[in-house]
Chain A
């Protein structure tokens, strides 16, 4: 087994508690979301948003920033890896840890839309746009943490990413294309409505995600000194 893979496994194991906690909270939120009462479903949505956002903040801080702050990097750098390899390990392990929670949650949305056939036809497309945005917000926090290794800049990135999520939740549901999708009918009757504009929004989110992750990778490869 390569040293890099060993360190990735170590990171994932180190994040196990957070993955379980936030994964559990997300699952709980999804269950509430499927509850046939509007207030409880809304609460479920809030719990889901909280856990997906709080998880990447916690994950990035624990896996990247805290290790740099506590000088664990100096110890890790005595292992047979370069600074670039160690940074790549951090990116990959953070990505894997986030996706391990994100992917099942994302898949659950499709199941919920089948089960809750009384939901509006525009619900799924809205949820998918939201989940794509979590990836972008996570990538923003991660890339800033990898590039800066600074608590201050990482916290700024979190605040910015949270702001983007809040703006999304306020603007997108009231936009014309989503209003049309929401008012088209319910899933049980007309199925899922998927406006073209939503594809553009998702594409932009995923492109931004890819760019931010690429920036983190480039910064990692160029990393020569991560010790203080």
Chain B
């Protein structure tokens, strides 16, 4: 039985140090039935974080509990209910998909769903007799996902699963994840460089940079609060300090606002500005702005 917990993932004060990487006092909570998308530049610590959740990498300090199980102490029990797929995970090239399915089925006798595995095989158009070494990259990713999803996990942890896939394969993958997530008790945590996938699938989005959580909010809050504002008139010195000016020319200022509301327009009017246009930002733009603003605040010259 899965441990009784309404929280799928709980990380408290987690620290991990590598020679050129530091993660200090990292905290994260994911409620049951949620999909968390992680976005961050290369080397931000996303993979380390996901591996720590699964007990594949041990944290230097802090507490991690996944599905109510302490990690790494209860790592083995956890693996019966949580599945992990990573883009750098490799199946055995000399063996067929069926061989891998049989191995996983023997290891997870209580949770392996043979009929669902057959369904995914058909949906992903995979031939179970094909050797992994003869598969294309997309097919290999699909085979890896099949092995994870046919276990009907309560939590699916995906580390950049769509890297290297063509748009059609990525679409198929995200559609299948949608289907999996129809069960509201299940949870999914995934990292991706494709913000479109994250935007499409996630309830919550965590932006991570340099081993730190920049922000973790629900998708709508990001998309509601972040705006690109074009202003004319007024004295630039009078601009609210939390606006991030991205361009200024010919009396026109373009700024990024991360706390946009009706009050903001009134505040800018009071300061003598005329709001020419407001545009919502894409998730990718939001992420880039967050990283730039954070680095600027820390005095990092880019």
Contact = CB atoms under 8 A, between A and B. Distances in A.
Contact of A79 (B57, B90, B107): B107
A224 B58 contact: yes
B107 A10 contact: no
Q: Give chain B's interface residue range (CB within 8 Å of chain A).
A: 20 to 34
Interface string A68-103: 001110110111111000000000000000000000
Contacts of B56: 74, 77, 225, 227
B107 A6 contact: yes
A10 B100 CA distance: 11
A156 to B, nearest CB: 24
A76 to B, nearest CB: 9
A106 B79 CA distance: 42
B91 A72 contact: yes
Interface residues of A, number: 20
B76 A74 contact: no
Nearest to B104: A79
Interface in A39-83: 70-72, 74-75, 77-82
A72 B90 contact: yes
B51 A75 contact: no
A207 to B, nearest CB: 34
Contact of A72 (B55, B85, B92, B104): B92
A225 B47 CA distance: 14
A3 interface: yes
Contacts of B77: 80
Interface string B39-76: 00000000000010011111000000000000010011
Contacts, number: 57
Most buried by B among A3, A14, A75, A78: A78
B76 A10 contact: no
Given A71-B90, A77-B56, A78-B84, A227 B51 contact: yes
Contact of B107 (A3, A14, A227, A228): A3
**Chain A contact residues: over half helix, strand or loop, or mixed?**
loop
Contacts of B144: 75
A13 B72 CA distance: 30
B124 to A, nearest CB: 18
Nearest to A85: B76
B106 A6 contact: yes
Given A3-B107, A10-B103, A227-B56, A80 B76 contact: yes
A78 B54 contact: yes
Given A3-B107, A71-B89, A72-B92, A78 B57 contact: no
B148 A78 contact: yes
A80 B58 contact: no
Interface string B84-111: 1110111111000000000110111000
Contacts of A225: 56-58
Nearest to B95: A14
A225 to B, nearest CB: 5
A74 B90 contact: yes
Nearest to A3: B107
A78 B103 contact: no
Nearest to A83: B56
Nearest to A17: B94
A92 B23 CA distance: 36
Given A1-B106, A72-B92, A74-B88, 19 more contacts: A6-B106, A6-B107, A70-B90, A71-B89, A72-B90, A74-B90, A77-B56, A78-B79, A78-B84, A78-B148, A79-B103, A80-B77, A80-B80, A80-B107, A80-B108, A224-B72, A227-B51, A227-B56, A227-B57
Interface of B: 51, 54-58, 72, 75-77, 79-80, 83-86, 88-93, 103-104, 106-108, 144, 148
Interface of A: 1, 3, 6, 10, 14, 70-72, 74-75, 77-82, 224-225, 227-228
16 contacts: A3-B107, A71-B89, A71-B90, A72-B92, A75-B90, A75-B144, A77-B56, A78-B54, A78-B79, A78-B84, A78-B89, A79-B103, A80-B79, A80-B107, A80-B108, A227-B56
